[in-house]
Structure formats: C-alpha cells, structure tokens
Amino acid sequence: MAHRCTPVPLCRCGACGSRLRVLPAEIAPFKHYTRPIVETVCSSYSDAQLPGITLRRTVARMGPGHPHHSALHGWLAGLGEQALGRWDPPAGNLPVSALIAETARHIDEHLPNWWTRGYPVADRKYHTEKRREQLEGCARVFAAATLLFPATAHPFCAWDLWLQERFHVAAWSFPARCSCTSFQQPVFGKAAVRSAADQGKPRDKERNRDHGARSPP
C-alpha cells in the first residue's frame, strides 16, 4: 500500500448555485481508504475459503499503511447491514431491492436467485446471530459482484460504479462504524484461567489508626 493525495474538486451547480465537493468514483463518502482497499479486506475476511483468518491478519496482509482492524470490523458490519436492507430508507440509502432489480434488468436476470442463496460463514468469526447475518450479507455481496463482473480485479467496485452511472448517487454506501455489534471475544472454556477471588487476610485496622501529629526529625 502507498499513501497518495487525491484531489476533491469543488463544483458549483448551474441551477441553484450551491457548491458541492465531488468525490472520485474510487472514494466512498466518509471513508479514508479507497473502495478497492475496503473491498480487498472485507472480501478476504468473509471468504469461506479462509475460515481461520482474523481481523488483524486480514489487514496485515495489505502491508505498511494498512487499515486498523477495528475499521475492518466496522466496514463488515455496515456493509452487512446494508446487504440485509437495514440501511434502506428512511436511513437515506437506496433500497437494496432497487440495486438488485436494476442490475438484474440490465446484466443478469438470474441475480435475484443468486441473491437469496445461503452463504457459509466460519463459526469462529461470530458469537451472535446478528454478526453471522452481517458476515453472510457481506459474502453475498462479493459473490454477486464476482458473478456480475468476473473479469475485473475489483468486481464490487465495478458493480458500484455501474450503479452510480444509473442512479447518479452512491449505491453501496455504508457507515464505517455500526453500534449494533461489538468485537467478539472467545467464550471461556474449562481450560481457561480465571483470576481467583481475594481470600487474603483483612487489612490490619491498626494501620489506619490516627497516631496524632508527628514530631519533626
């Protein structure tokens, strides 16, 4: 990975005169990393062929300058929620059903059937049903993108760009943080070591006794 500056031009609407910043196609709103970076780490972690990969290992594979593993955790939650339709209006996003219907109408009419299939998620990557649904939603998005744009290096980005050209707004736009889920911690097993309760003798009350003023040395 390499850090680089991308100009964000300030444009003026010829109709109403308002001034707006126009983001490049590769930068999603409110994200500090480009769409290809987000796609690479999210698709790797949700890949059923990588059941043992962790959040930290996923981002570490990107090399120096990689995103923090907490950012990946938030991206997976946000994208999963949008794939499940939980960020549909009134949240302000385009309905997922509209994205699927428009794509099926122009690219692949069998997409709705692919979309409703189940996608496996490694058991060790979730401890709640909500998190499992979010990861399955991510896997569904990337599988559908690969089906639609198999010849591109970043099919999810290609799909999003294709949708932007038709709706003229960000299509797959999800938050970088989602308060509905937290980091999953392993459940204590029988071999786990717990801290023992303090069974020592009570403190000597004499230590807290007021001995009066001390004489100078």
Question: Which residue, chain included where needed, has tokens 């990861």?
Answer: 135
The pLDDT assigned to 163 comes to 95
pTM above 0.85, yes or no: no
C-beta separation of 31 from 79 below 8 A: no
Taking the CA of residue 90 as centre, how many other CA atoms within 13 Å lie in the half-sphere pointing to its CB?
0
pLDDT tens profile 10-54: 888 888 888 888 878 888 877 888 999 999 999 999 999 999 999
Amino acid identity for residue 8 in this structure: V
Helix 155-167 × helix 129-148 angle, to 10°: 80
With a cut of 70, say whether residue 149 has pLDDT above it.
yes
Task: Please tell me the predicted confidence (pLDDT) of residue 98.
Answer: 94
pLDDT for 60 = 95
Distance CA 166, CA 94 (A): 12
For residue 57 the two structure tokens come to: 């290992």
67: nearest Cα among 76, 22, 171 = 76
> Would you put residue 61 in left (φ > 0), alpha (ψ -120 to 50) or beta?
alpha
Per-residue pLDDT of 199-213, as tens digits, reads 455 555 555 555 555
Percent of the chain with pLDDT over 70: 78
Q: Which tens digit of pLDDT belongs to each residue from 29-39?
A: 778 889 999 99
SS (H, E, C) 97-151: HHHHHHHHHHCCCCHHHHHCCCCCCCHHHCCCHHHHHHHHHHHHHHHHHHHHCCC
Query: How is the chain split into domains, by residue range?
Result: 30-184
